Chains A and B, each alone.
Chain A
Amino acid sequence: MNIQNPEIENNVFDVRGLNLWYGNDQALKNINMQIEKNKITAIIGPSGCGKSTFIKTLNRMIENVPIVRTTGEILYHGNDIFDKSMRVEELRTKVGMVFQKPNPFPKSIFENVVYGPKIHGIKDKKLLMEIAEASLKSAALWDEVKDRLNDNAYGLSGGQQQRLCIARCIAVQPDVILMDEPTSALDPIATLKVEELMDSLKQEYTIAIVTHSMQQAARISDKTAFFLMGDLIEYDKTEAIFSNPRDKRTEDYITGRFG
């Protein structure tokens, strides 16, 4: 299926006929989907349906798996990300990622946040400090860590570590933030904090989130895509998906009949 959006310039990503194989196993089948600017797009589906694979394709992280092969195109603001002229390093500064398990570096909190700016060539100490403060404030972590910026990031709780990873992502000033089940390793309170954070972040960033929790998708997202066995079954406004799904399989999944 293919939902055409009349406001094309509002689309950050335009996925066209995307197929993806791991060796001989097809993980994504002819995906057509647009991701809108300043919206939270949730991707739901049972384990192994291809939702993580899909989100990792958007910034080509999936290519770290050596046997991956893709066809079709993904337009990012109109440019195909698979085009030879597109450098993955450049794409990933624009399309950042937050992972399932919090993965801070074994460095200080400050060094974690400024890692991105530093590798992209910013050396000015004062500027780095400003970036760190702004990023940690955006990630709602500043008040908790401002007195111990030089402590090792591994001393933070899991929820704080995940928000640190979000701050680290923001510090690169991306356009899109991809989140791969960002709260699956967190307790309910930490999850709530990350969800509140996402809601405030969508003012400035476009967010795509893979989640196992349908409640989470319903709570936070503007649009929801339902994947099953590598197919995009249904993609619509979140209220529509949850209140009035058009496909029987979507309905079965969101009412908890499988998955």
Chain B
Amino acid sequence: MSAAKLEFLREGREDTMLETDQTHAFERYKVKIDSGRIERRVRLNNGLKHLFSLSTVFALVVLAILLYRIGVQSAGWLDLQFLTSNLSRFADKAGIYGAILGTVYLMLIVVPVTLILGVSTAIYLEEYAAKGRIQRFIKVNISNLASVPSVIFGLLGLAVFGRMLNLGSSILAGGLTMSLLVLPTVVVASQEAIKAVPGFLREASYGMGADKWTTIRKVVLPVALPGILTGSILAMSRAIGETAPLVVLGIPTLILKIPDSVMDDFTALPIQIYYWTLDTVLTPEYANLAAATIVVLLAVLFILNSVAIIIRNKFQKRF
């Protein structure tokens, strides 16, 4: 009999009754553990392990096929001339210089607009807004916004920026539309990063007489920055790869002029892939150009995602 139980008995506590009941339950339980049951569970576990690994292999196979096909198709087409030439009617003279520049211009708008609006929104919701029903409602709806299909954002961009503000299919219209598209993602990622900053750091700052904004600027944001950057880079890579909103905005099929201001019409990498693929009916070699453009786009996206992973690993949780 254990010392604790002895003490219970001495004190005449009724809790000891509970202990006897439990002993009975353990006896009954022991009978149910038979080896056949364990054998079946181990076999189920092994079966599931193979199923899970097959799922992983499936994704890898798809990626391998994709890379192989575009690799073969783009071989011989992806060279310096391809990267530095503008569009041409002749497939062997055509290049994606204009599309690369268009994508860069697009990012020059999307990055500042989403970072400023997104991080500000996240700061407001996490640090300033009173915690309550309204704040929760806003947060849920920002998350909902993140899952709205991109073509709908394209329609919104067409109506507001293209028509109402009369920006047409310019870089500015495209950039603002793309910003709307990825803004919810940036907001949610920044919110998570800010929420992960431990409260005791804020307390330390407030305890020395710091006001809220000083605390946010000097304590919260530096600690949250890696998380904000990781989320934002992933959002940017989405903006670089999106096609639908630009198609809806009516980005012209053929641009021979290299854009030199944000009010100019432009083309971007995914759009270029889209139109070259459509035009393959006319000129079969365009398929190779599309493949070469895909290689460039994928390379950019892989680099961006790697940077995001590196940042995340470098600033692993320190608390």
List residues of chain A with CB within 8 A of the CB of B130.
66
User: Cβ of A165 < 8 Å from any Cβ of B?
Assistant: yes
User: Cβ of B59 < 8 Å from any Cβ of A?
Assistant: no
Chain-B contact segment, one of A14-22, A96-104, A207-215: A96-104
Asked if A103 contacts B200 (CB within 8 A), the reply is yes
Asked if B205 contacts A89 (CB within 8 A), the reply is no
Distance A101 CA – B199 CA, assembled complex (angstroms): 12
Chain-A contact segment, one of B206-214, B236-244, B298-306: B206-214
User: Cβ of B79 < 8 Å from any Cβ of A?
Assistant: no
Asked if B204 contacts A99 (CB within 8 A), the reply is yes
Asked if B200 contacts A89 (CB within 8 A), the reply is no
Which of the residues A66, A90, A92 comes within 8 Å of B207, measured between beta carbons?
A: A92
- Closest-by-CB residue of A relative to B204 is A103
Asked if B210 contacts A89 (CB within 8 A), the reply is yes
User: Cβ of A42 < 8 Å from any Cβ of B?
Assistant: no
List residues of chain A with CB within 8 A of the CB of B196.
none
Distance A6 CA – B305 CA, assembled complex (angstroms): 70
Distance A64 CA – B205 CA, assembled complex (angstroms): 12
B36 CB, nearest partner CB in chain A, Å:
50
User: Cβ of A154 < 8 Å from any Cβ of B?
Assistant: yes
In order of increasing CB-CB distance, the 3 nearest A-B pairs are A93-B209, A92-B209, A97-B207
List residues of chain A with CB within 8 A of the CB of B136.
none
- Contacts A/B (CB < 8 Å), 5 sampled: A61-B203, A88-B209, A96-B208, A120-B209, A169-B207
List residues of chain A with CB within 8 A of the CB of B131.
66
Asked if A64 contacts B211 (CB within 8 A), the reply is no
Distance A103 CA – B203 CA, assembled complex (angstroms): 9
Q: Give residues of chain A (88-129) contacting chain B, Cβ–Cβ below 8 Å.
A: 88-93, 96-97, 99, 101, 103-106, 115-116, 119-120
Q: Give residues of chain B (122-174) contacting chain A, Cβ–Cβ below 8 Å.
A: 130-131
Asked if A105 contacts B209 (CB within 8 A), the reply is no
List residues of chain B with CB within 8 A of the CB of A93.
208-209
Asked if B208 contacts A106 (CB within 8 A), the reply is no
Distance A157 CA – B72 CA, assembled complex (angstroms): 58
Q: With A106-B223, A119-B214 known to touch, is A99 a contact of B200 (CB < 8 Å)?
A: yes
Interface residues of A (CB under 8 A from B): 59, 61, 64, 66, 88-93, 96-97, 99, 101, 103-106, 115-116, 119-120, 154, 165, 168-169, 172
- Closest-by-CB residue of A relative to B214 is A119
List residues of chain A with CB within 8 A of the CB of B211.
89
- Closest-by-CB residue of B relative to A152 is B318
Asked if B203 contacts A115 (CB within 8 A), the reply is no
A85 CB, nearest partner CB in chain B, Å:
16
List residues of chain A with CB within 8 A of the CB of B203.
61, 64, 99, 103
Identify the interface centre among A64, A89, A101: most chain B CB within 10 Å of its CB.
A89
Q: Give residues of chain B (185-236) contacting chain A, Cβ–Cβ below 8 Å.
A: 200-201, 203-211, 214, 218-219, 222-223
Asked if A115 contacts B206 (CB within 8 A), the reply is no
List residues of chain B with CB within 8 A of the CB of A101.
200
Identify the interface centre among A64, A115, A169: most chain B CB within 10 Å of its CB.
A115
Asked if A172 contacts B208 (CB within 8 A), the reply is yes
List residues of chain B with CB within 8 A of the CB of A120.
209
Q: With A119-B214, A119-B218, A154-B318 known to touch, is A92 a contact of B204 (CB < 8 Å)?
A: no
A102 CB, nearest partner CB in chain B, Å:
9
Asked if B218 contacts A115 (CB within 8 A), the reply is yes
